Amino acid sequence: METVYEVKGMTCGHCVGSVTQELSALPGVESVDVVLETGKVTVKSEAALTEDAVREAVDEAGYELVGVAN
């Protein structure tokens, strides 16, 4: 399953690393791809993740989950 999220507040490579690390730690996550310029984060996982779990991981990294990207 692949879901694209929008995250606000990322400004550098360290931001990308923090978000990637936190999301990668969620159960079932296979890969995380962050595009700094657009704030889009693509998460591939074995099963659907709850938005609450994703929001908590992004918050832990210090950024804001806007929601699922259109």
Strands of 64-68's sheet, edge to edge? Answer: 29-35, 40-45, 2-8, 64-68
Report d(CA 68, CA 48) in Å as an integer.
Answer: 12
Query: For residue 54, which amino acid is it?
Result: V
pTM: 0.94
The number of beta carbons lying within 10 Å of the beta carbon of residue 15 is 18
Per-residue pLDDT of 41-60, as tens digits, reads 999 999 999 999 999 999 99
Instruction: Quote the pLDDT of residue 40.
Output: 97
Paired with 65 in beta bridges are: 7
Positions of the chain with pLDDT lower than 70, given as ranges: none
Instruction: Quote the pLDDT of residue 70.
Output: 73
3-state DSSP assignment of residue 25:
coil
